[in-house]
Chains A and B, each alone.
Chain A
């Protein structure tokens, strides 16, 4: 297997170089035959990299400890599903995985080349250039098939215990699919700029690919948060760790792009801005990969410090220089076709939205890198942790939430005062009512967390109410026309403009998440050493220790506590928080017991054993509304999938001119901006 892996990696590199060079020559000389060979070489790269990845996984299953990578990241008793996870659990394997995902995206792009042969050929060359970098890295700097020097040990060091969790088999691939996915819109955008591509077709293609990457990135981020919550045992889901921040950065700029791209499609505006948003999103994806691997910041996620940092900095500098060069050369091609007419318009709301997303991204990047800057300036490294990120980002998030409520109800070009009144009256009254109730109940003046919770829930209500009114008004117009009920009208409405209404569903997912985040203000926790029959009180729950036991299997030793949970004195269920010590790595890990409901999570952690008494120490957290975060994540993904579907043919296209005018008049009369664009 090592020989097959090494050979196929070299072959893949050679094919990528060919695809790059032949592709460039073919475009320059307009040689279609040579271009076709470049395309096919790109497809062959997928076959070669797949073979290398399969070779590594097979080596893990065969317990081939002659490979240093397998020795350090696997062991004989590792359960089979985690043998797959070995592929991305270490530096070398994860870079191979990056290459494989890029080759897979490249395959899809090259197979679908008839979408636009010239544009795809140019984009394919750019993807090949990125592929050359990653394959050079795995061939020369971080070889996954490097052999162990000297005697081969009988067993491996095992997989990091924190990674031995079902979600961990999905989380990194999702995140990587997001990171790597951003390479495709980057390739299309740069290709369009280089070619001075006429029209907006490239932006349609780019937007769709960005949505795919964004969806995977969102999925990866939420899975990571859920994994942290379920495995790490500190009762939280987001710690503002540098590597977490690295995944958030391209997500923020990608989200900004997905909003501002509508201005380009609808109004021919913001072309330069959009181009740079795509460039920056891709650069931040690479930066995230670099941050995890270079060891420049300390993080619980980071791989061991290695010498691949300079490779990444050189690559990022090259990408930046290329982007700047072609932008300066062809920027006249990116002039806006229209200008803004009013401050109270969809366009200006997108502008503010973009600024806020970028400021948020800047704040995250700034906080992540500030320790390095501080060390360079003052000579001492400082910590920039959650208090900084929360203080800076929460206010920005609140303003963004306000824009999420207001923006979709503003019309393109200009919004009249009458329209504003009609659209915002009901949502404003609803949210005002919620604000009054919350102010009385939560006393926001007592604590800043309470204050933010009140503001967040009020704004979330405003967003939910505006979305609901949008669906209702649009659904009602269609139901009157079709003779169906309002609910069916809403479904038809969504199918006719999947992007707009899918987007609203995404916003609703965000509302759910915000509600979940707002629950932080009411978190409670307590800790106690618990012997047989001991009790602990937390909120309305009484925890009774029924028993504690020890167990062993080939992979780990475990200690488990058996805790009966009583709510207001009534038995609810028995929970089993545990602690494991993995035999191969001799590393301990907590197995959290979590009882999750819509109202709150009861979260028990077996923190250790008192060495004097031998009794377990149990930490209990009561985290309100966490369920809503995971529900919001599901809704967000459903919304993205809806938005990715093509529109059903618009009914108005089938109507006569008279009927069409009547339909528009009805919509205008209802005061809605239904279908006013996306």
Chain B
């Protein structure tokens, strides 16, 4: 039994490592697409760099060339992003970073989500506890119970 468990753990570890290795197989083209969608075109169109639709936009052409040359040079993703930020300012990044005040942008929706779910759970539990009291009262009043059953039937009719 113990050997079986150990074998299972070994297989699981190998599978996780294999998945990670497969995930790491991103080629230059994929990086270009990924980074090109993480940067904004700075021609004023307010669009993603690789999606700028301005006919003959010289800014996006120049920026795309810069991106290609940085990738060819072997720069990392962070180095490329930093280089673009230095040249065009922080607005060149298509999404807030994970630093400083920018972090608030990412955290808030999930905080609201968590609070919303907690609120629903609280409301449901409160309502349920009140309902339990109401059920006791209903048991003591068969006429009311009959009326409720009739209403339930009406609400679930075809």
- Known contacts A233-B53, A381-B91, A340 near B156 by CB under 8 Å: no
- Known contacts A299-B46, A676-B156, A677-B156, A608 near B124 by CB under 8 Å: no
Would you call A234 and B156 a contact (CB within 8 A)?
Answer: no
Give 1 or 0 for each of B112-142: 1 = CB within 8 Å of chain A CB.
Answer: 1100110110011001101100100000000
Would you call A343 and B47 a contact (CB within 8 A)?
Answer: no
Q: Which of A341, A366, A412, A589 contacts B156 (CB 8 A)?
A: A412
Would you call A392 and B158 a contact (CB within 8 A)?
Answer: no
- Whole-angstrom CA separation of A445 from B22 in the bound complex: 8
- Whole-angstrom CA separation of A387 from B34 in the bound complex: 10
- Whole-angstrom CA separation of A660 from B154 in the bound complex: 11
Interface size on B, residues (CB 8 A): 51
Taking CB atoms, residues of chain B closer than 8 Å to A298 are 46
Is B155 engaged at the interface, CB distance under 8 Å to the other chain? yes
Taking CB atoms, residues of chain B closer than 8 Å to A646 are none
Q: Which of B108, B120, B156 contacts A351 (CB 8 A)?
A: B120
Is A306 engaged at the interface, CB distance under 8 Å to the other chain? no
- Known contacts A342-B128, A385-B48, A445-B23, A359 near B90 by CB under 8 Å: no
Within 8 A of B (CB), among A566-617: 579, 588-590, 605, 607-609
Taking CB atoms, residues of chain B closer than 8 Å to A374 are 96, 101-102, 105
Would you call B131 and A340 a contact (CB within 8 A)?
Answer: yes
Is A36 engaged at the interface, CB distance under 8 Å to the other chain? no
- Whole-angstrom CA separation of A588 from B110 in the bound complex: 42
Is B94 engaged at the interface, CB distance under 8 Å to the other chain? yes
CB within 8 Å: A-B pair count: 159
Residue of A nearest to B54 (CB): A588
- Known contacts A381-B91, A382-B93, A387-B94, A590 near B108 by CB under 8 Å: no
Q: Which of B53, B95, B131 contacts A590 (CB 8 A)?
A: B53
Taking CB atoms, residues of chain B closer than 8 Å to A377 are 101
Would you call A443 and B45 a contact (CB within 8 A)?
Answer: no
Interface core residue of A239, A387, A474, A609 (most chain B CB under 10 Å): A387
Taking CB atoms, residues of chain A closer than 8 Å to B92 are 383
Would you call B96 and A382 a contact (CB within 8 A)?
Answer: yes
Give 1 or 0 for each of A358-386: 1 = CB within 8 Å of chain B CB.
Answer: 11001100110010001001101111111
Q: Which of A351, A352, A382 contacts B102 (CB 8 A)?
A: A382
- Known contacts A340-B127, A380-B89, A443-B22, A392 near B46 by CB under 8 Å: no
By secondary structure, the A interface counts as: mixed
Would you call A383 and B156 a contact (CB within 8 A)?
Answer: no
- Known contacts A380-B90, A445-B23, A650 near B46 by CB under 8 Å: no
Would you call B96 and A370 a contact (CB within 8 A)?
Answer: yes
Tell me the minimal C-beta distance from A263 to chain B in angstroms. 12
Q: Which of B113, B123, B152, B158 contacts A667 (CB 8 A)?
A: B158
Taking CB atoms, residues of chain B closer than 8 Å to A396 are 113
- Known contacts A386-B48, A388-B105, A234 near B53 by CB under 8 Å: yes
Q: Which of B38, B56, B90 contacts A588 (CB 8 A)?
A: B56
Taking CB atoms, residues of chain A closer than 8 Å to B127 are 339-340
- Whole-angstrom CA separation of A652 from B100 in the bound complex: 64
Is A296 engaged at the interface, CB distance under 8 Å to the other chain? no
Taking CB atoms, residues of chain A closer than 8 Å to B120 are 348, 351-352, 355
Would you call B94 and A650 a contact (CB within 8 A)?
Answer: no
Residue of A nearest to B15 (CB): A445
- Whole-angstrom CA separation of A391 from B25 in the bound complex: 22
Would you call A664 and B158 a contact (CB within 8 A)?
Answer: yes
Q: Which of B47, B90, B152 contacts A239 (CB 8 A)?
A: B47
Within 8 A of B (CB), among A237-274: 239, 241, 266
Taking CB atoms, residues of chain B closer than 8 Å to A385 are 40, 48, 94-95
Is A235 engaged at the interface, CB distance under 8 Å to the other chain? yes
Taking CB atoms, residues of chain B closer than 8 Å to A609 are 56
Would you call B158 and A232 a contact (CB within 8 A)?
Answer: no
Would you call A236 and B51 a contact (CB within 8 A)?
Answer: yes
Is B19 engaged at the interface, CB distance under 8 Å to the other chain? yes
Q: Which of B19, B45, B106, B116 contacts A300 (CB 8 A)?
A: B45
Taking CB atoms, residues of chain A closer than 8 Å to B78 are none
Would you call A388 and B96 a contact (CB within 8 A)?
Answer: yes
Give 1 or 0 for each of A336-358: 1 = CB within 8 Å of chain B CB.
Answer: 00011111000010011001101
Would you call B157 and A650 a contact (CB within 8 A)?
Answer: yes
Tell me the minimal C-beta distance from B30 to chain A in angstroms. 8
Is B68 engaged at the interface, CB distance under 8 Å to the other chain? no
Is B52 engaged at the interface, CB distance under 8 Å to the other chain? yes
Q: Which of B40, B93, B130, B152 contacts A339 (CB 8 A)?
A: B130
Tell me the minimal C-beta distance from B127 to chain A in angstroms. 4
Tell me the minimal C-beta distance from B126 to chain A in angstroms. 8
Taking CB atoms, residues of chain B closer than 8 Å to A411 are 156
- Whole-angstrom CA separation of A241 from B101 in the bound complex: 22
- Whole-angstrom CA separation of A607 from B128 in the bound complex: 61
Would you call A351 and B109 a contact (CB within 8 A)?
Answer: no
- Whole-angstrom CA separation of A383 from B101 in the bound complex: 13
Is A190 engaged at the interface, CB distance under 8 Å to the other chain? no
CB-defined A-B contacts under 8 Å, sample of 23: A234-B53, A241-B46, A300-B45, A343-B124, A351-B124, A352-B117, A355-B116, A370-B96, A378-B100, A381-B91, A382-B93, A384-B105, A386-B94, A386-B95, A387-B95, A388-B95, A388-B106, A392-B109, A446-B22, A477-B158, A478-B158, A579-B55, A651-B158
Q: Nearest 10 pairs between A and B by C-beta? A: A340-B127, A385-B94, A363-B109, A355-B116, A387-B95, A234-B51, A339-B127, A608-B56, A588-B55, A388-B95
Query: A366-B109, A392-B110 are known contacts; what are 4 more A-B pairs with Cβ within 8 Å?
Result: A234-B52, A341-B131, A386-B37, A474-B158
B residues in contact (CB < 8 Å) with A: 19, 22-23, 25, 37-38, 40, 45-48, 51-53, 55-56, 89-96, 100-102, 105-106, 108-110, 112-113, 116-117, 119-120, 123-124, 127-128, 130-131, 134, 152-153, 155-158
